[in-house]
Structure 1
């Protein structure tokens, strides 16, 4: 495997719409924890749909309730219907990172209710584009543009290690 020591996934939530289906837009920055430092960024749009969740998400992680509708690397759009070894496990890891960030955001009560259209989202992306490539911690950005949190993922199982490999390959078949 390319990276057996683990990764850090920083999640920046730029948009959160708290009406069913809940909609979240933002960025993931995945960085290796090995000596060979690798970083890859993903922009995402994700819907959370659970008939029991009326105003917020539960603390229990329910991966089937999260559905990525858009996922991009720096270079291209990711085919969310891809079927190859490790792809679903990789989406699971990203869903978990998003869930942990959202739960942290709700626990810290730092979210604000804001709506945004496509033009505003493009303008916001232009604002954050330089930040995507900055090496600092995203948690410091929440005052200006969103809420951020980071989790470490150090898999011992082969499926988790494969998920890391797929992440660093831009969610494309290795």
Structure 2
């Protein structure tokens, strides 16, 4: 191998290693700031429009970080207790959650209010979002089968719990909460995901 070839190989290896080092350093900083991995999620549906569009990239943090003044013991501020605090265009926190009974991607919706185990939450609910039910007896997940958050996509005309998308969201199902978003930057991730 000539000296020029060896120099080119060393330069290529040095460039590759410095690129990997930069990517690892950026990942470490993002993890240190957010407390979760991955620190960003791509929005896969229109359920949070107009706040979040399909393909937006949402920067998320651990639920106990950067809470508002009305944060509960789990670090989440519900819309009904927000006291002027809000994230991503509305009152309260937007949470990323996954339920044991659901296959597929996690859900990113707004935490609206907290219910206790066995609570009849129909009377506290906004009647526009109870899916046509006239009482707790007609409503899915009412009384609450366990304590947790009642959630809703900003564009949905129903609570997730009213349609059976999830029972009240237990705090340990919450993987992160949204802080801010970058429009359309998650589209690339969604396209790559289609290919896999």
Could you say which TM-score interval applies, normalised by the shorter chain? under 0.3
Structure whose alpha-carbon radius of gyration is higher: 2
